[in-house]
Amino acid sequence: MTRYSRSKRRGRGASRPLSTTTLAFIVFTAVAGVFLCVGAIILAAMAGRGRESSTTATVRPGPTTLVVAYTPEKGPLFTALVKAFNDTRPQGPRGETLRVEAVQRNVETMLNEAVISDTLQAISPDSSLWLDSLDRAWRSKTGGEAGLVGSTHRYAVTPVVIAAWESAARSLGWPDKTIGWVDILNKARSDANFKWNHAATTSASGMLATLAEFYAGAGKTRGLTKEDATAQKTLDYVAAIERTVRFYGEGELAIIERARSEGRNFLDAFILPEQLVVQFNQAKPRERIVAIYPQEGTLWLDHPLVLLERPDLSANQRLAFQKFREFLMSAAAQKMVLQAGYRPADLNLSLTGPDSPLTAVNGVDPAQPQTTLQVPTPDVVEVVQNVWWYTKRRTNVYLVVDTSGSMRGEKIEAVREALRTFLDQIKGDADSVGMVEFSSQVNNIIPLDSLGNNRGDLERAAAGLQAGGDTALLDGVRAAYVRLQQENDRERINAIVALTDGRENASSVSLRQLTREMQQGNQSGVPVVVFGIAFGKDADLSALQSLANATNGQVRRGDLETIRQLYKILSTYF
């Protein structure tokens, strides 16, 4: 406050003393003025408070929502964390409510939505691997230099492991022996019945497992370079391992669900995040799966929380992100992370305490892994992902397509588009694809050939599909199966993707005959896996399921909205 002082001035021209009456009048006037001023100030203040109260009541800000997309594998944990955060009723600077809304997205959808839409303000993918590609996609869209990835914080981590049924693990030498990729390779080569898989590199666990193979091939644990990844020695090592993969797949959730439903009849070993091993064993299955930490080293899923630096991001959304991030690192939230089978980001929280589920009973070892591999630079990751297409196990796959009369209209058009999607997803020209079209009988067969030779033929056949007639599903599948057995190619994944929208009513072979033929053929000849798509509510689900069960395959349901996505998902198996 500025203070003012008064000074007395004396000198010539000073006034004469005032009379008593005049002085009294001056004093009265001054006092009255003071009272009037004070009264005016009080009234103004009261009026101001009234106006302020009225204004606040009419324009008080509503709740601010931060929409965060999360990947499905951590759904129960993430939604529980969001609920716990919202229950704390966090507030903004003027008392407005701040809340987080959680939406589930697979990685591809999440990244695409982040770039093309303004619906998300933050994301929590399974790995930071995807963030560089997100920034590159954003720069390509905006034409600017700024990226979309903002403040990034990890709150839960988990190593990627080779999960195996306990009996299979013991056949490898577990727990007395330290097991590595070479042991998987030797077991698969020496035992034709040993089956293992890892997901395609479109999933984080599949990509990290592939990076681990490249590190092992290069004989390094840090600093993998483009030269390392493309060296012939490395490529030969990775290709030898990849040739033993039974099939690939879309991700760890699909694998763990099949392990739950099929039990020991499923694959012997598969790549999983450690926390899924814990969660599987907590359900007390008939046989446990155990985590094998490759002796060459492993990589980690780091589950970051990422702010998206959008131009329309509000100050309150930024504040909500900050408060949510702080909450995720709180003691209570980190304990929830541990209870869900993840390793908390807070290193002060004990992994071996009485409440920790990271125990031998649950098939894991909190003292592992002994060797952690360094995530390569984004340009090296991209090279590995591209090179993988040339080291992965090749495929012979027949597309068996129902063109019966019930497929007329939107259905047949949806299948045409879905087949184009399937072919587009198979990047390499060395994989072989054929097509069998059926209605009342087998109408057309495009023989199996490398996509480098017949991609155009397949695309034209898909575009020209016409519907009419009955449904000889079993004859269509059998035509494809016989041809794959005649190929007798044991070096490749042999598969049939069969679609139908109706009931079998025209085949010359019975379901019982065909399933017996396939079971016997898979034992004496090459293993062929059948993936069935039941298109619509009238599809012959039971027949497809029988064929899938006979070949260790699976069945998916589809409709007009999902059929294209289903073919895209199934393409990841090959």
Q: What is the pLDDT of residues 292-337, one digit of tens each?
A: 999 999 999 999 999 999 999 999 999 999 999 999 999 999 999 9
The CATH 3.40.50.410 domain(s) of the chain lie at 394-571
**pTM, entire model:** 0.86
All residues at 6 or more sequence positions from 555 whose CB lies less than 8 Å from its CB, including other chains: 531, 532, 533, 534, 541, 544, 545, 548
Instruction: Please write down the HEC assignment for all residues of 286-329.
Output: CCCEEEECCCCCECEECCEEEEECCCCCCHHHHHHHHHHHHHHC
The fold of the 64-156+303-344 domain, in CATH, is D-Maltodextrin-Binding Protein; domain 2 (3.40.190)
What is the three-class DSSP state of 389?
Answer: helix
Token pair in block for residue 165: 């049924």
Instruction: Tell me the pLDDT of the chain averaged across its residues.
Output: 90
DSSP type of residue 464: T
**Per-residue b/e over 129-161, b at no fewer than 16 CB within 10 Å?**
bbbbebbebbeeeeeeeebbbeeebbbbbbbbb
Q: In whole angstroms, what is the distance from residue 524 CA to residue 73 CA?
A: 38
pLDDT in tens, 181-205: 999 999 999 998 999 999 999 999 9
Q: Which residue has the tokens 């003071």?
A: 34
CATH, range 394-571:
3.40.50.410
Please give the full DSSP string across 534-573, using - where no structure is assigned: EESTTS-HHHHHHHHHHTT-EEEEE-TTTHHHHHHHHHTT
**Per-residue b/e over 440-450, b at no fewer than 16 CB within 10 Å?**
bebbebbebee
Instruction: Please write down the HEC assignment for all residues of 177-211.
Output: CCCCHHHHHHHHHHCCCCCEECCCCCCHHHHHHHH
pLDDT in tens, 269-284: 999 999 999 999 999 9
pLDDT of 216 over the 70 cut: yes
pLDDT in tens, 484-508: 999 999 999 999 999 999 999 999 9
Helix pair angle (232-242, 378-391), 10° resolution: 60
Q: In whole angstroms, what is the distance from residue 328 CA to residue 178 CA?
A: 35
Q: In whole angstroms, what is the distance from residue 385 CA to residue 524 CA?
A: 35
The alpha carbon of 462 is separated from its chain's Cα centroid by a whole number of angstroms, namely 30
Q: Quote the pLDDT of residue 394.
A: 96
Token pair in block for residue 116: 């093309």
The CATH 3.40.190.10 domain(s) of the chain lie at 64-156+303-344, 158-302+357-388
Instruction: pLDDT band for 44, please (50, 70, 90 cuts).
Output: very low
CATH, range 158-302+357-388:
3.40.190.10
